[in-house]
Structure 1
């Protein structure tokens, strides 16, 4: 039986090629994902570990939790602590570290590093082994800076040049005193690093005379644990905590691995979809192969082969196909992994250098997935083949499914579909978090139900295309009849395309609706023409709001200044605003009271008012970071949203309690409204700063929706794999259908249907099957998009379902194009059949 199985594989090489390709693509996606994520994770971990080479023990401030009416705060690491740390017996040196966001502009005014990878810090001079100089000298005073060599090369800077940079808003123009090299993971991943002398860095980052961290190196012979113990005894335990360099590296590696895990999971989900779609093709292929060899298998049974041996022979074929596809998929996956890394780099992605990582786990996963998926998909056809009675098989009276089996299939499908719809509808009545799991369960049940019911659905839906098919004459009529001749095969072929289009359509409906809703939210909540903020979301200097207020054409402006407070023993963030201007800059619906922010009168959003039981006129006491308290009165309650929410009070009341005032945003309204010239005027007033974003309403909504747009583009790209697999499935089905109907096609040729008619018949059959899968996929995708939108609507009052008719039409055309392309080779093969040979074929 083993030799028989191998002979069958070699005898049907062409028939199994599409199956090998389908499995190979799925395996390639899995192994490519593993190679890519392992490579990136390893590169980041190695790069991160180098950053801790100069640190044996790190001393960090211990955050003091908020308790009672006391606002939590982070204590300062003082100069005295630095000196104490350097004097412990096991310490060779102690370095105070200060750092933060620092945007460096190139000579064209563009940001050199990414929004989050642009960093700055302090330089300790010749003894600072972290950053060896390759040109120039150490910085002295506020007018000198060091740049890392990679950023200097990218921006075209050399020693002596003037560079434009920003820390918290205002533009600085120091001179490049020197250029250094570094193993800092941030820099090797494409970021930038600017270094100042310590006093300048402390002043720029709001750490006058203090540090963010103290890095201590051990003397030869002193271990990290021993040095940590000495520092614990010498420093105040209630203010600082110490961590060994090894633990810092291990924690960082774990953080990187956890971050890559979510990316890996997301990519593997799409790989799973491609494999799931491929499973239909494999099952379809083996079903047809078994059907073509029915008499052969029956003869084996007649000469003594048992059912188990027949099943085993088919599974051996599947094992060989899966093993070949697994090896080919692994090799292709290595190429995909390398290509993804290069692609991310070409699009400006930040990724450190490192070798391509091909772990034993990746190799094992590729082979196991390839073999298991193929054998599982082939098991049901193998079992059916073994159950055929030998005499019945040799007389070919076994082919059609019984009425009982069809009724059972349709009943099961209807139950699954009904359960799925019921669970989804129930989930739409829940809130966002609690409804997610039921929604996912309902979607799975409904897809299974529709898949099982697809043979039943194929007849009425394909029959609906009859009027169009008549336009193509006898070829169209034959194509329609052929497409419903074997409903199960048609269903399996169409289902592969259906699943891909369901996901694409659902994501498109969601993304379009969210974009519309965010645009609506921005238009309804904000009257300001512009919102100004830092590129990386860090706080702005208060000087920015002052400069904007003094700019020509600005009629009103207000900073949004956040500060932590304690109210009724709970931590609450207050937003300080310009009380005289905020009502002109926002357009928030007021539920109760009036939108008045003046003196000690505040406004709160509806959620917080409900949580605390506040109404207009309610009094509350806020405790600030300086330990002082202020009595406040609720003047009004408004509807908050994702852009504006929380407790607003007059900036004049809040700011005196803050040691380091900083603004998250500044709202600006101008006399001329939003225009390119107005935006340019505001940018020039701020020194054309690369670190600052000036956004109008459209820019603001686009930035919020950017994550959805990025996800949608990723989904299009990743699900393209599933669509390619679906195309292979259609090609496979048609090719085998042509083989099965060779005698019938020969007869059609003999009675007058020319080669062009044969080609048209096969192409139209493929088109009908593909459009059938497309209609099902788009219909399900729209339903899922609507249902998911109902969950989003519980948190976004402006959410509104928007159907992108243009894109839906493109998806349907795409399904048709899949059918036409997939039919090219089978149609050509059918047209070239020898008439006489086909007629006498058995």
Structure 2
């Protein structure tokens, strides 16, 4: 009973799905955080307390102050088995070569980081040439920069350029200065590495260290030290994990969809065959077992092939993910057992799940089906199906209204996705009813009114509405998903950029160029209004320990910030009082009033009780609170300015560039938007590929079942070219119907998203649809549809108009 021709399409779908699942799970298993090279020799690392933030915020831990860190270092160094306890200090430092920052990989944070020389022993780093820095004006640099020992060099720091002398060179990126200089530039400490004697047990030392630290930190050993990887690497790794997880889930879901449609169509074509089995005594249960057995064979074979293909593709995909910024530069594929097991199980499981509905339909075939010469024409859809479709469409419309009235973009996006899912399901259920009106509507535009070919195409679509709807359904789903997701991403990005630009009262924006931020010296050259961001940690005086809630604080000049911010609205107090070393302006969400105390921990680890002098609306700040710029600089010597607003275009200082407000607004989330768009294109590619495969599978099976009809057309006088044109036109019409229905469904969701965004940003929002992506999706479906229908037809027509595939004269 198992036909290679019928099962080939399902085998291909399963193999591709398992290949994606195998590659994604292998890459997921390889995505564990890596221990930074500069801490590799520290068998035990004590980390400062975690910030109470969401897993996807990637804020640094709350630092210890210099005094607390010194006490911990002394106590930890006295533990048995510990030969040295070294505080690791990290700060911004960027050497200049020939007056310019050297070309480095901007994704590597260590290219812009400085450390005290004592930290070098935590990674086993030693000078390749020269000596360690012993004086405040000496520095050790990466040998790859091309500098020589004894040469003068300028190093950019947060305060501005500093002159140094190269005392030594190492084979690692970064800047290494004397420990007293590092303590000045980074007074807060977030990690203390412990070097152990050769006979010490790291786990025993870790237990003793936990007794010293208590609740004011974490003690890490082994792979746990990966928690100390750079925040940028952690963020890239997290994004990559989301991409791979979504790809694996989507691949499994769409594979079930494709295989289910393939088996359903196959069962429909084998009704006479199944009826013969029932006529000779086969029970419904035996028929169902037969279909399940076929699915198990196809799924197992496809699973094995998919696993081999996925394992071979995983290293290639890993390289692409690193190049795209979806994984850090340290990412590498490691083969583990559980992804192999999951992939081997996935093939049969997907096939058995997909064939469930088809097996039930096969079991209900009656013995009289064997006596039918031809399949009966499709019946109109039943009442239950009509009611279900109407309910789904109604639900989709209601969710679209919810999208337009949602207060938050995240909720609006969820409503839009649910709305399109409901509308797609409703359109698929009601497709046999909708196909007729759509075909009649398209008669003139696609020239189906005149000619014998046009009459046959139109007649086939109108009479075989269930078949037309079944073939159009994958196109509908694919186009709807592509239009909704791509349009939502582009429209949202454009809307937020427009709102961001509308909020700024400036002519030009000064931004960092080839660096993470601007120094104080560069800001002073601009003469504009600057934002100096830092992370502070909100404490809870009523709790036993600080809550460590991270907040983004902006160091500003109050008058300049008020003039540059169009949406700034003070609801209590006055920004004129934002001066001194103990004042803060907060948002209304804090439920505080002027003069209320506000206690925070700064980047240097010191706890300061501030006094609220102003309360502003929640949408007034591009952060959480405002501080005097001098306060931020005092407590965070390594903070860098992110943005400077200026009235007129100026010559940019070293390490800076000047852009207009519109460009700045578009670039503000450019890195995030790029990753989101890559994620979107990947998901669209997976869904579009499977949608095209589903269309091709269905058309291949349909072409095999229509061989007799096509021979009859040849006997009526049609040429081979006319028959090929007939099936080509039918395929194009079906793809067009699916594309129109899918596009209409997605536009309903996009209109709701646009209305909600316009309400949020307070300005008109243009609907942005990437027609290139949509055209590519439709073109792929059309190409595979035409090939899947034309090639089998051309092959069957080579036998001549009066001869069947078995060689019997018709």
Structure 1: distance between partners of 2:307 and 2:557? 61
- Distance (whole Å) between structure 2 residues aligned to residue 158 and residue 822 of structure 1: 66
Q: Tell me the equivalent position of 1:632.
A: 613
Task: Work out the number of aligned pairs and report it.
Answer: 777
- SS across alignment from 1:469: coil
- Equivalent runs, 1:104-183 vs 2, <5 Å: 109-115=101-107, 117-118=109-110, 119-124=113-118, 130-148=124-142, 152-153=143-144, 165-168=155-158, 170-172=160-162, 174=164, 176-181=166-171
CA contact (8 A) 1:545 1:559 kept: no
Conservation of the 8 A alpha-carbon contact between 1:125 and 1:138: no
> How far off its partner does 1:92 sit?
1.8
Question: In 2 relative to 1, CA 576–350 (structure 1 residues): closer, same or farther, beyond 3 Å?
Answer: closer
Residue 54 (structure 1) aligned with residue 41 (structure 2): yes
The answer to whether 1:749 aligns with 2:714 is yes
CA deviations over 1:613-636 (Å, ceiling 9, x no partner): 86xxx76666787857657367xx
Q: Which residue of 2 aligns with 1:414?
A: 390
1:480 aligns with 2:458: yes
Q: Helix, strand or coil for the counterpart of 1:132?
A: coil
Query: Could you list the per-position Cα deviations for residues 217-261 of structure 1 after superposition, in whole angstroms to 9, with x for gaps in the alignment?
Result: 23354434554566677x6869x6462534843756999999857
Counterpart check, 1:835 vs 2:801 = yes
Report the Cα distance in structure 2 between the residues aligned to 1:655 and 1:302, rounded to whole angstroms: 86
- Find the counterpart in structure 1 of residue 692 from structure 2: 727
| Alpha-carbon distance between aligned partners in 1 of 2:140 and 2:473, rounded to the nearest angstrom | 60
- The yes-or-no answer on 1:704 pairing with 2:664 is no
In the TM superposition, residue 98 of structure 1 has moved relative to its aligned partner by 1.6
- 8 Å CA contact 2:573–2:614 kept in 1: the answer is no
Aligned to 1:283: 260
Superposition deviation, residue 478 in structure 1: 1.4
Output the CA distance in 1 between the equivalents of 2:799 and 2:579: 90
CA–CA distance in structure 2, aligned partners of residues 365 and 484 of structure 1: 44
Q: Distance in 2 between the 1:792 and 1:109 partners? A: 40
- Residue 181 (structure 2) aligned to one of 200, 212, 219: 200
What is the Cα deviation at residue 129 of structure 1? 6.0
SS of the residue aligned with 2:802?
helix
Partner in structure 2 of residue 449 of structure 1:
426
* Residue 800 in structure 1 maps to residue 778 in structure 2: no
Post-superposition Cα deviations, 1:477-533, rounded to whole Å, max 9, x if no partner, equal: 212322344333322322212222222211222223223323322332213344445
Query: Deviation of residue 584 (structure 1)?
Result: 4.2
In 1, Cα distance between equivalents of 2:487 and 2:51: 46
Structure 1 residues 251, 644: CA separation in 2 closer, same or farther (over 3 Å shift)?
closer
Structure 1 residue 766: deviation in Å? 0.7
Where 2:139 maps in the other structure, the secondary structure is: strand
Distance 1:287 1:195, change over 3 A: same
Equivalent-residue separation in structure 2 for 1:535 and 1:752 (angstroms)? 72
Change (3 A) 1:717 1:402: same
* Displacement of 1:541: 4.3
| Counterpart-to-counterpart distance in 2, 1:63 and 1:740 | 64
- Secondary structure (helix, strand or coil) at the match of 2:219 reads strand
Could you tell me whether the CA contact under 8 Å between 1:514 and 1:705 is conserved in 2? no
Seen in structure 2, the aligned counterparts of structure 1 residues 123 and 462 have a Cα distance that, compared at 3 Å, is same
What's 1:511 paired with? 489
Task: Give the C-alpha shift of residue 763 in structure 1.
Answer: 0.8
Aligned-partner Cα distance in 1 for 2:206–2:572: 58
Q: Which runs of 5 or more residues in structure 1 are unaligned?
A: 1-7, 66-71, 183-191, 550-555
The residue aligned with 2:529 is 557
Question: What's the RMSD between the two structures over aligned residues?
Answer: 4.4
Distance in 1 between residues matched to 2:553 and 2:356, nearest whole Å: 63
Q: Distance in 1 between matches of 2:263 and 2:809?
A: 22
Q: Is the 8 A contact 1:577 1:648 kept in 2?
A: yes
Please name the residue that 1:189 is paired with: none
Structure 2: distance between partners of 1:709 and 1:126: 35
**Which TM-score applies when normalising by structure 2?**
0.82
Equivalent in the alignment of 1:588? 567
- Secondary structure of 1:581's match? helix
Unmatched segments (≥5 aa) in structure 2: 53-61, 543-548, 601-605
Question: Is this contact kept in 1: 2:480–2:743, CA < 8 A?
Answer: yes
How much has 1:769 moved relative to structure 2? Answer: 0.8
Is residue 772 of structure 1 aligned with residue 737 of structure 2? Answer: yes
Tell me if structure 2 keeps the 8 A contact 1:526–1:586. yes
Q: Displacement, 1:35?
A: 1.7
Q: Name the structure 1 match of 2:347.
A: 370
Equivalent-residue separation in structure 2 for 1:63 and 1:408 (angstroms): 55
Please give the alpha-carbon distance, in whole angstroms, between the structure 2 residues aligned to 1:270 and 1:330: 16
- Name whichever of 588-597 and 782-791 sits farther off: 588-597
**In the alignment, is the contact (CA less than 8 A) between 1:307 and 1:387 conserved in 2?**
yes
8 A Cα contact 1:279 1:374, kept in partner: yes
